[in-house]
Structure 1
């Protein structure tokens, strides 16, 4: 004779399996919507840029809710800030000098001074320094402030609050560091 608990257990298990199968085979099949990729076509011609661009970063520098870009111009020692427009184009760039022979290698954006305005940080490979342009929120920036990296040549840069002190920390990868 089968113990009543085992019989109840087997009955419950068989009932659940039958219930699941009934639901699976009798429920109406839902149609899966077809994925339609609908993109707006924009001007396919690329932006011609002859200043030896090395890096680009994106942010809203003038607080108009459109993305703007900043480009490190390695060949000419400057950065260019181009503002995004509502028609998905970029305006003419504003150029900021990073110094003669500075060879900017990478740009990054972050609110360094906690004023809710994006600032630009540049790894100046040729000048062995980090350049900081403080943003005013209207699309303009301060003159470059320089922080030396000694004999090291910065090629990559990242910014975050690494130690949770609410202050930005700048990390660089340097070429030629021993």
Structure 2
């Protein structure tokens, strides 16, 4: 059903991957967080099932998770990453040619492990939701629309939240937050009010 694998070099200890067109050529590119290299890598698609060597961008310490979304309404896909041991999330804005500006960071709780980007306040701007494994919390950072985010709002979770997802679970047309809590063997559901 599938051909044998083709591998592409990344940084040390790749942790998370996202697929999206970053250079507007209608070909899906690969974005990977390189945990021990403290970078995210972008592998551009050649269009024939192969990818160019990664271009790396410096992040905070130990990027654990990546999300891809247009954060500043320029019709370019930007990168958001969780910098686990820096206690920050980083935003790398797309220049339009498939390259990215230096990361802008925002303070989170302790050990941000997973990040999602979804509009949570119905202003048509994707906001950042991050699970903080070390502080048993999630943070919501609201998007200003200019590629920047407001200071975090914090919500409690169970022990060691390691993954976060956002979806409307109760059919009220509002996004709810679901968190996997590694330390307590539970999931938390935070309903939007």
Deviation at 1:46, TM superposition (A): 2.8
Query: What is residue 20 of structure 1 aligned with on the other side?
Result: none
- Per the normalisation by structure 2, the TM-score is 0.67
Deviation at 1:170, TM superposition (A): 0.3
Indicate which of 136, 141, 147 corresponds to 2:149.
141
Distance 1:49 1:42 in 2: 21
Q: 1:172 to 1:44 in 2, by over 3 A?
A: closer
Residues 62-118 of structure 1: CA distance to partner in whole angstroms, max 9, x if unpaired?
00000001110001100100001111101111110114xx00000001000111111
Query: What is residue 110 of structure 1 aligned with on the other side?
Result: 118
Distance 2:60 2:89 in 1: 13
Q: Give the aligned CA root-mean-square deviation in angstroms.
A: 2.2
Query: What is residue 108 of structure 2 aligned with on the other side?
Result: 98
Give 5+ residue unaligned stretches, structure 1: 1-35
Give 5+ residue unaligned stretches, structure 2: 1-45, 186-193
Q: Which of these two proteins has the greater Rg computed from alpha carbons?
A: 1
The 8 Å contact of residues 60 and 88 in structure 2, kept in 1 or not, is answered as no
Deviation at 1:45, TM superposition (A): 3.8
1:163 equivalent to 2:170? Answer: yes
Q: 1:38 to 1:166 in 2, by over 3 A?
A: same
Q: 1:107 to 1:50 in 2, by over 3 A?
A: closer
Deviation at 1:49, TM superposition (A): 4.0
Deviation at 1:122, TM superposition (A): 0.2
Larger helix fraction of residues: 1
Q: 1:167 to 1:175 in 2, by over 3 A?
A: same
Q: 1:37 to 1:120 in 2, by over 3 A?
A: closer
Query: What is residue 154 of structure 1 aligned with on the other side?
Result: 161
Deviation at 1:44, TM superposition (A): 4.3
Indicate which of 49, 53, 69 corresponds to 2:63.
53
Query: What is residue 16 of structure 2 aligned with on the other side?
Result: none
Q: 1:166 to 1:48 in 2, by over 3 A?
A: same
